[in-house]
Amino acid sequence: GYEETASPAIALAAAALGSVLLVSLVLFLLPLSARPRALRRTLAAWGFVAPAATLLLVFTFGPLLFSLWISLHEWHLVDPAHPFTGLANYRGLLADGSWWSAIRNTVVFTVHVPFAMAVALALALLTRGSRRAVRWARLALFLPSITSVVAIAVVWKWLLNDGYGLLNRALEGVGLDSVPWLTSPDTALASLMAISVWMVVGYQMVVFQAGLAAIPRDWYDAARVDGAGPLQRFRHITLPGLRHTLFFVLVTSVIGSFQVFGLVYVMTEGGPLGATDVAVYHIYREAWEFLRFGNAAAMSWILFAVVFAATWLHFRFLEGRRAHA
């Protein structure tokens, strides 16, 4: 059953943790004179690292390895037998149209990332300065980034409701037809993308402002003396100076987009007609609605491979740009 299958992994983790604690205890009990100075320094360093390393081992790497183990088994929550199936779960996903539809929706969802970055960079340039109005504007733009995703989703679901939503009421008030924002396959995913832009643009703006502050003002002054206009200064000073910041925001935003879940779970539940069924929500349903944990674990590892490949391509692109610079 579950206990029989999980016991080797639990025993292995307990043995590793016990070994670390035993070695640390033996070294601690040694007399100070018997400890070489280098050993004392090493022991002190490991003493500081051990708590965080233990938490990382138990709560990060342990579950990762266990999910990989589950993905190689036919693991159903209500079935006590968990036979080893090798790569059968992965092969089954290759022919699962609903899974690849969720991957496609996730990739489409990431299209909002460059648009959000452009808006955030424009806002960062517009809100530079220390005036009180500018500070309040930055705060207002940043608030969605620190607000609960569930709260944001509930409010926007009410605003975009077909019958009583405030946005449709405003459209009808000016003589326009209401729009099925969340109930039409043609508009549901785009609506979630627009909300995501509104959520992340404040955080990205703050990151860009930090990058802009690191660019020496003397460069802009020298460019003005040489007759460079605003567009030339932006192209030849601002963008090159923000190269690493842009790359950081791009990679983290793409990774975050591949992990989108809260908006879909609260606002659309993957509908209508699967139009907003993204990868993480699909994995959630596979595990907790259909109780097929083996398939869900395999999906998680495939999603990890997709995100890793996307991140690797971004790094390769940056290295290529550096080589030609």
Q: What is the pLDDT of residue 20?
A: 59
Q: What is the pLDDT of residue 39?
A: 63
What's the distance, Cα to Cα, between the start and end of the chain in Å? 59
- Residue 27's domain comprises 2-71
Answer yes or no: do 248 and 289 share one domain: yes
Answer yes or no: do 52 and 150 share one domain: no
pTM of the model: 0.83
Residue 291 belongs to a domain: yes
Tell me the two tokens of residue 131: 């005036």
Residue 64 belongs to a domain: yes
What is the radius of gyration, based on Cα positions, of the chain?
26
Residue 315 belongs to a domain: yes
Answer yes or no: do 193 and 256 share one domain: yes
CATH number at residue 227: 1.10.3720.10
Cα atoms found within 13 Å of the Cα of residue 121, Cβ hemisphere only: 18
Residue 90 belongs to a domain: no
Residue ranges of the chain with per-residue pLDDT less than 70:
1-40, 43, 130, 321-325
> Among all chains, which residue has been given the structure tokens 């003396």?
225
Q: What is the pLDDT of residue 35?
A: 53
Residue 16 belongs to a domain: yes
Report CA torsion sign: 72, 78, 80, 81: negative
What's the number of domains the chain is made of?
Answer: 2
Residue 95 belongs to a domain: no
